[in-house]
Amino acid sequence: MAGDTQLDLEADRAFMHLALDQAQNAWLLGEVPVGAVIVRAGQVIATGYNRPIGEHDPTAHAEIVALRQAAHLLGNYRLPDCTLYVTLEPCAMCAMALLHARFARVVFGAHDPKTGAAGSVVDLFADPRLNHHCSITAGVEQTACSNLLQEFFRERRRAQKSQQDSAHEACLSGIEVTELDIDPPLI
Ligand SMILES: [Zn+2]
């Protein structure tokens, strides 16, 4: 029914906004702003945001953080009746983790042309060679999700430039500047 579809879309948007709130948490910690929530029977049961730098953990993507929380909460490594909402298309690592957990549905916001594994680079969720498939809804609140990422990278470039400018000025005025000061680590 058209009404149900409309309702589903509204629910998807509302949950994606909660994922966007999670992404903001990542930004506040200087991490690339990606956020996720896991929903079961219409209720959020777990949240996560990207934090590989702070955690010293290359696997600490928003999806994995939320997935671990949900599995612990439910006491089960399979989550077949859950939906994951994430602001950016999952990478291959997260896609496989979601398939291992037997997720029924994944909803994402912005496409990731560089590492997206839900159709942009590969489509692991629909690969007939894999034994589990997962329904994908792409592009929910896409503009808000990609704007957040673009704004983050724009601000970071600005900050790097002003740091370089002040380093240059400091050099001119004879103040010693270490390499670390002018070259913050990239993600
Ligand atoms: Zn990932």
Structure confidence by residue, pLDDT tens digits, 105-131: 999 999 999 999 999 999 999 999 998
Q: What pLDDT does residue 166 have?
A: 81
User: How far, in Å, is the centroid of ligand 1 from the Cα of 97?
Assistant: 9
Backbone angles phi, psi at 69, to 5 degrees: -60, -45
User: How far, in Å, is the centroid of ligand 1 from the Cα of 93?
Assistant: 5
User: How far, in Å, is the centroid of ligand 1 from the Cα of 183?
Assistant: 26
Which are the contacts of 47, defined by CB distance < 8 A and separation ≥ 6? 18, 22, 35, 36, 37, 38, 66, 69
For CA atoms 148, 149, 154, 160, the dihedral sign is positive
Q: What pLDDT does residue 15 have?
A: 98
Catalytic residue, chosen from 10, 31, 63, 169, is 63
For CA atoms 117, 103, 49, 33, the dihedral sign is positive
Q: What pLDDT does residue 177 have?
A: 44
Distance CA 175, CA 46 (A): 49
User: How far, in Å, is the centroid of ligand 1 from the Cα of 187?
Assistant: 14
CB 66 within 8 A of CB 47: yes
Low-confidence ranges of the chain (pLDDT < 70): 1-3, 7, 174-187
Q: What pLDDT does residue 125 have?
A: 95
User: How far, in Å, is the centroid of ligand 1 from the Cα of 86?
Assistant: 10
For CA atoms 142, 147, 153, 157, the dihedral sign is positive
- Residue 10 falls in the annotated catalytic set: no
Beta strands 82-88; 105-110: pairing state: parallel
Distance CA 97, CA 12 (A): 22
Half-sphere exposure of 150 (CA within 13 A, CB side): 8
User: How far, in Å, is the centroid of ligand 1 from the Cα of 158?
Assistant: 26
